[in-house]
Amino acid sequence: MHPAGPAAAIIATLWWVLLIGATAIFLLVAGLIAWAWRRPPGEVQERRFVVWLGLAFPLVVLAALLAYGLVIGERLLPRATPDLVEVRAEARQWDWRFGYADAPGRVTENELHIPAGRPVDVAISSADVVHSFWVPRLAGKLDAVPGHVNVLRLEADRPGRYEGLNAEYNGPGYRDHRFTVIAHDAEGWQAFLRGERP
């Protein structure tokens, strides 16, 4: 996956940091096990190693990873910005319907149109069962729950097509429950709002 937006880039960085932290803990524990098997008999220093390397090091690394994850999670929350675009996404078996605040009455099926380089808040809901809205290259996954609206911030760095999918099992056919995000340049976005097909 190659991130194509700020949220996806943050999530990718978080994944790498968590992998590195987990690897550090794994290597330390593996090293301690190897040392315990190979140490000379009669050497007694277990308590110091258990406390400092077996408990303190993993707890410090895990606390640092938790703090980092909380900071990153806070950065991913939608915030009000002057150039914000708002879109409604309604899932149903087996399609997505998108409505646009900047183009009242305009609805597209299985194609979400957004402007590139601008934040887009997608208000996600469901008409029937729990679905999941996920555009891997642009942002994280968020569930579409009947009777509830969840908001996900999307932003594409540049114009292009990005594939989205339903990542929640909800019956036969869920694997084909896909949609496309089309990110337009400024001119293309205005043409879309006017009702012109690109």
pTM, two decimal places: 0.75
Mean pLDDT over each residue of the chain, to the nearest integer: 84
Report which of residues 166 and 185 the model is more confident about: 185
Q: Is the peptide bond before 96 cis (omega within 30 degrees of 0)?
A: no
CA distances from residue 76 to 9, 85, 192 in whole angstroms, order as listed = 11, 16, 28
pLDDT digits (tens, 9 = 90+) for 67-124: 988 888 887 777 777 888 999 999 888 889 999 988 888 899 999 999 998 999 999 9
Of the candidates 152, 156, 155, the one whose C-alpha atom is nearest the C-alpha of residue 167 is 152
What per-residue confidence (pLDDT) applies to 51?
64
What per-residue confidence (pLDDT) applies to 42?
59
What per-residue confidence (pLDDT) applies to 39?
66
Please state whether beta strands 120-126 and 85-92 pair in parallel, antiparallel, or not at all (unpaired): parallel
- Here the tokens at position 5 are 């937006």
Residue pointed to by tokens 């999670």? 73
Calculate the CA 71 to chain-centre distance. Answer: 15
Report which of residues 174 and 166 the model is more confident about: 166
What per-residue confidence (pLDDT) applies to 185?
92
- Here the tokens at position 188 are 């293309």
List the domain boundaries for the chain: 6-76, 85-193
Sequence-distant (6+) residues with CB within 8 A of 131 are: 91, 92, 143, 144, 166, 168, 170, 174, 177
Report which of residues 40 and 9 the model is more confident about: 9
**125 pLDDT band (50/70/90 cuts)?**
very high
Whole-number percent of the chain with pLDDT over 90: 26
Query: Cβ-count burial of 194 within 10 angstroms (0-12 exposed, 13-18 middle, 19+ buried)?
Result: exposed
* CATH code of the domain occupying 85-193: 2.60.40.420
Tell me 137's DSSP state.
Answer: T
